[in-house]
Structure 1
């Protein structure tokens, strides 16, 4: 489990627990963790096991909270199946909110063959589906522990995602070929205490795509709103709105 802490001399504003997606290791989220921790949120990265079992992920979250160094509010941030796990678990674990980034929906009709284990993506197809960011592509390509072809692994029935009741930010790329954006918008829009944001041209690894700075800024705005209340009051607004 990897940890990034707030800058020295600054009081931590909360804890962000990142759940990785299919094939990923903590290496994929170092840039994200550095950026969020620089804004004084403590970041813990949980490498989700390949079984995608909610029980083992729940145990990891409980361990972080029980350790005594996870200041509130506590937020689950998940990508791909990590986002599906976050949505599955958030209402039942000791956290306050969730960020679902590039969520893998079990019902998604994807343009890439994620539903059939026997149909493996080529590496070129997988990297195209994941991200257009050259830096992130290099991270994935050089990570010896990254499991190529993971997007072809079928989703477990345990990940039958029900929109959470706790405050939730859903952020998704409009050009995500793994989980079509219209399915995500349709599943989460209009839900209480839920904000849905789409990233123009974004692909599946939306935390690590070319718009990663804007995505991180959107997440920080959500975190700061959460600190004001579970109804997510706006901090920055259009005059007269």
Structure 2
């Protein structure tokens, strides 16, 4: 059984970069099929790995797994750069914490989506209440409900303090896009703002009306567009390709 889910760009187009997606608590690779297809449509090579269990898999082991996943995407001339890690929830915390580790698959940039806060926060007792924390998107709610591999109640699992401390205390120099929903009850918005300001090259984007699963909520099209814009800007040495000179909205 394959350990990855892969998404390829349109035939005949040059690959513009490699994106590795690290899911969060309770999620499966299928959780990011829609996101993977959308980025792949813009000629990015997307691979989704299995979510880490941070209680049993240390950061060194996760770094090795990410390195192997990246190496397995290689064409004849190696991994297509830029190599970007996208983490969601605990996957975002792990990716941020990993930036302080040496790795053969050192990313050129990261996207941290729905980074959980350090304070414990109970989600709820029922599945519908957990879904309300995650998303208001009917399609995503249906996907999570129908996926027998999704682990219900997982958002109540604590992310290891050492991982969160490393994530929020990161001083990484790689470009970082932080994504958070303004209706995410698990986010620490003040801590995110502080972390974004402390990083050398970070952008904090707040998605209006979005919940914890910010990559997969109702605003998923706009969020994917923000990610693609980041990827394209990264390819242009972080120089924006479009600036707004005048606008009435």
TM-score calculated relative to the size of structure 2: 0.87
Q: Give the Cα–Cα distance (whole angstroms) in 2 for the partners of residues 218 and 78 of structure 1.
A: 15
* Partner residue, 2:131: 127
How far off is 1:43 after superposition? Answer: 0.4
* Partner residue, 2:70: 65
Of 24, 32, 36, the match for 1:33: 36
* Partner residue, 1:87: 96
Q: Give the Cα–Cα distance (whole angstroms) in 2 for the partners of residues 54 and 228 of structure 1.
A: 31
How far off is 1:56 after superposition? Answer: 2.7
Distance 1:53 1:122, change over 3 A: farther
* Partner residue, 2:26: 23
Mapped contact 1:176–1:202 kept (Cα < 8 A): yes
* Partner residue, 2:182: 174
Q: Give the Cα–Cα distance (whole angstroms) in 2 for the partners of residues 206 and 65 of structure 1.
A: 24
Mapped contact 1:54–1:158 kept (Cα < 8 A): no
How far off is 1:233 after superposition? Answer: 1.2
Mapped contact 1:90–1:98 kept (Cα < 8 A): no
How far off is 1:188 after superposition? Answer: 1.5
Superposed CA RMSD: 1.7
* Partner residue, 2:230: 222
Q: After superposition, what is the alpha-carbon deviation per residue over 1:33-67, rounded to whole angstroms, capped at 9, x for unaligned?
A: 00000000000101123235322321121112333
Q: After superposition, what is the alpha-carbon deviation per residue over 1:153-174, rounded to whole angstroms, capped at 9, x for unaligned?
A: 0111331213332100001101
Range with greater deviation from structure 2 (90-99 or 138-147) = 90-99
How far off is 1:191 after superposition? Answer: 3.0
TM-score calculated relative to the size of structure 1: 0.90
Structure 2 unaligned blocks of 5 or more: none
Structure 1 unaligned blocks of 5 or more: 115-119
SS in 1 for 2:11: coil
Mapped contact 1:20–1:46 kept (Cα < 8 A): yes
Does residue 74 of structure 1 match 2:83? yes
Q: Give the Cα–Cα distance (whole angstroms) in 1 for the partners of residues 59 and 203 of structure 2.
A: 24
Does residue 192 of structure 1 match 2:195? no
Q: Give the Cα–Cα distance (whole angstroms) in 1 for the partners of residues 43 and 99 of structure 2.
A: 22
How far off is 1:190 after superposition? Answer: 5.4
Mapped contact 1:74–1:96 kept (Cα < 8 A): yes
Q: Give the Cα–Cα distance (whole angstroms) in 2 for the partners of residues 15 and 201 of structure 1.
A: 29
Count of residues paired in the alignment: 230
